[in-house]
Chain A
Amino acid sequence: MKKLWKKINKQVCQATITVTAALSISAFSVNAEELGYPEKEELKFGFIKLTDMAPIAIAYEKGFFEDEGLYVTIEAQANWKVLLDGVIDGRLDGAHMLAGQPIAATIGYGTEAEIITPFSMDLNGNGITVSNQIWEKMKVNIPKRPDGKPVHPIKADALKPVVEEYLDQGKPFNMGMVFPVSTHNYELRYWLAAGGIHPGFYAPHKGDTSGQLDADVLLSVTPPPQMPATMEAGTIYGYCVGEPWNQQAVFKGIGVPVVTDYEIWKDNPEKVFGISKQFAEKYPNTTIRLTRALIRAAKWLDENNNANRPEAVKILAQSNYVGADAEVIANSMTGTFEYEKGDKREVPDFNVFFRYNATYPYYSDAIWYLTQMRRWGQIDVDKPDSWYFDVAKKVYRPDIYQKAAQSLIADKLMSAADFPTLTTDDGFRAPQTHFIDGIVYNGKAPNEYINKFSIGLKAGDKI
């Protein structure tokens, strides 16, 4: 009897296994085949004139959108606010966004709206530039290499005496960044704070969103393409912005990029592709299909060791995309970066679009932005770790990304080798160590991370 039971049990077990296996296989293939035609075919995407909008331009020019049955119009936007409002009110179906924008919109800092991201657009790609006048003063504080060129990375320690000189004379030291919740704001703040310069707090609960409380350096917003002109006019002494606006300063001879964000935080997440949650729910196939097109474009950009970059530069130089001179765009896109005029150095990973899982929307990336929002007071009260995870899961949608990637593999448009960690990822990058101040970031412990900084709000602090 017992034996019989065992036998039956075993058979049942086996049957279940086969059935589940069959089911899961069929589920998988059904899943892949199920990806139907897009519900909405005519789409309009917004972007800001920066080289990291490249995946959108490439997906259009190389026909990846059309391959998905999507008829996409791409439109440059005046500034980040206009772009975000466009996605919120439906004028735009999706857009190239600052990583902080969907997060800030979701937690209600600025305009409140549910924006999600199924696709992270790139890593790195920003720089901090100072005017020639400030550079001359900074230069004496920077150690030199045997060949006379400054040792990199240049830390804000070199800038500190200059800022102090200005403060002693009672002159404000102004710098530009592109948006209150932009990567650039947090990177500039990170770099300044790592050198002992206080970039100021936000106090939204008191109605102060200038971000200049207790500040040594006053940061203000300028749209990216106007950065060089604003610095030339003397309104700001330096800025943090994406390409080509740092290289533009070198070409025009009005300033010197001192540090790239690659040196501040190696392989930091930069832009994302943002869509409204409502859009993703209403048009699931369209969402997956546009993600597929963008993944293919990102791969094309990094393929064969950046072999396609020169072609990409030509496309981006068209007046309807970035529109700057091709040689300016090429400087950073093809793996070099010119600091001081003539000081051109290899930075092969200055713009990363696909390598190192660049396109995967990691929760830990979202959480880093949240920690910085808390550090500088944009989030005015303490939040438990669980809150950080919840927000990240609301905004970053690896589930959509995975569906897109799996269907690309099923359609043989890409291979499983292109997504080495697709099935094993839990949405958190391993603790990241390459910060300019040596502080390690672990996305699984946000509050612990916030407490590590000497400048910035810590647990329990309130302005």
Chain B
Amino acid sequence: MTTTSTRHGAASDAAGTGGLRLLDVSLTLGDGEAAVTALDHVALDVTPGEFVAVVGPSGSGKSSLLAVAGGLQRPTSGQVHLAGTELTALSDKERTAARRRHIGFVFQQSNLLASLTVREQLLLPLHIDGRLDAAARARAEELLEAVGLSHRRGHRPHQLSGGERQRAGLARALMTSPAVLLVDEPTSALDRVRSAEAVRLIAEQTHAHGTATVMVTHDTAIMDAADRVHEMVDGRLS
């Protein structure tokens, strides 16, 4: 009983301060014989400004963790709390809106739209939300500066290096001032030096903007920059 009340207390803390909290989350994919347990009773707390890395081999459930935490997929059981709301209790439409306003995604390589310039990639999330104004444009310039892409603002993705694309993706994710930043294998297309730089930038931005950041990776070399490291094996988080 004591444990339970402590857990609830932590939940309201995370909610109150706008972090991310996964409560006993399980996800089963497929049916019957073919059913796979992607997430097995996962619990995770990330407070604002905290950078958590989740490492594990491919197929361990890391991406499922991001999908559930980011509202792309409903867990089979358990709750996801995000920026004061219970994501798992929302309708599909409300979840889409929550993704738009409170969650920043940094995807793997192909995460930019081919026809947009770097600057336009950043403005897109705010156009989707109907908030493309002078403040948004100013914020885009700031973020471009922060990730070192000011000189590339007019270039399209095919003119950028892998590292530059990754940084553009990070800047875009931060445009909406999200409560939660979810980062999927940020270094899969980068060499060792660039990887270290990219992860250092994520850590820096997490602390600067106070996002609750979860990064999943199979690259154990980049964990140093994280505040906390969890390991994921067969859907279980340690």
A, B assembled together: no
